[in-house]
Amino acid sequence: MKRRDLLKSAVAAGAGVMAGGSTEYRATAAAAQVTGADNDFETFELGDFTLLSGEVLRSATLAYKTHGTLNPAKDNVIVYPTWYAGRHTSNEGSIGQDLALDPTRYFIVVPDQFGNGLSSSPSNTPPPQDRMRFPVVHPYDNVRAQHRLLTERYDIERVKLVVGFSMSGQQAFHWGALYPEMVERIAPICGSARTAVHNYVFLEGVKAALTADCAWANGEYASPPLAGLRAFSRVYAGWYASQSFFREGLHRAYGDDGVESMLVSAERSFGRFDANDLLAMLATWQAADIAAHPRFGGDLRAALGAIRAQAYVMPSRTDLYFPPEDNEVEVAQMPNADLRVIPSIWGHLAGGGGNPADRAWISEQLAELLES
């Protein structure tokens, strides 16, 4: 069921919230989410921001963090957006002097995507766009907001590289198509230009697990729907890695309890987020389609062909969300793209640097791309 359909169900059931209750909800959600390292970010005010759908996101904000220094020529810029249930702090393991994303050489901008609780999200947006009333955000909306950040705050005209993992890998594709004269290189890692039907169906499953909790209350919950969040996390965790990952016992790295430790780790990870925020990001993932912009009129070949950037597209050999076969089809329609398959049994986790070997392999590819 789409977000708007869920909203209709809530209205039909007579669900509602007093203004004071909504304020309390947002304050509680913010206190729970923005703590510790996550609180280290800047904010760019977008004002009333028109989305691809035509709906206006009122008083929109974009949270972000930068690493390194913008050089005088402003030609050392790398954009590295966040992924599903990730924040700017999640990207920091792939940034360092010993890695390709070296902050002593590059100015690395890490924008938080809409819906992650830091940029405009259901949990921090006032009525009438709070909770399930938050509009559906497309990857193109994230990309246009990031473009405004670069051009309006930093006067940047060229981007050396847009790199992203999973949902932010999808954003890398969209960056290349929408701003072909600005973006020199893209590196989508374990992501696709268009969310495949199989991927969409998986997301429907985890959505159903979350919203089946009676405490969900059609998104108008007074306290977190803990049973739904737990079910969501456990279903999601089954898709993190490949069958071979579990067969070879690599899940035991999460703790002595093996599978249970991995499941608990997933619960902790997703438990940091407001449930409405998780569904908002999920809606963006499902909406991902590089051909959806009016410039391309639904023509996937035209959208992929518009990417002029040198591209290294890096799926994991064993990814259950974004299998290499999907990227093979996309790369064949891109003029300057190479398919670089991560030789890993870590599944989707490989693209996020889940282990040192995969992290080093990806860094080597990025270093080669940056020197091309």
User: What percent of the chain is helix, strand and coil (3-state, nearest 5)?
Assistant: 45, 15, 40
- Name the token pair of 57: 């996101």
84 and 280 in contact (C-beta within 8 Å)? no
Residues ≥6 apart with Cβ < 8 Å to 339? 313, 315, 324, 327, 328, 331
51 and 27 in contact (C-beta within 8 Å)? no
Residues with a catalytic annotation lie at 166, 319, 348
Is 298 buried (19+), middle (13-18) or exposed (0-12) by CB count in 10 A?
exposed
Taking each helix axis from N to C terminus, what angle separates 139-148 and 275-287, rounded to the nearest 10 degrees?
100
Q: What is the largest CA-CA distance in the chain?
A: 59
Pairwise CA distance, residues 164 & 322, whole Å: 13
β-strands 56-67, 42-50 pairing: antiparallel
Pairwise CA distance, residues 335 & 205, whole Å: 36
Closest to 78 (Cα-Cα) out of 155, 177, 150, 165? 150
Pairwise CA distance, residues 352 & 3, whole Å: 28
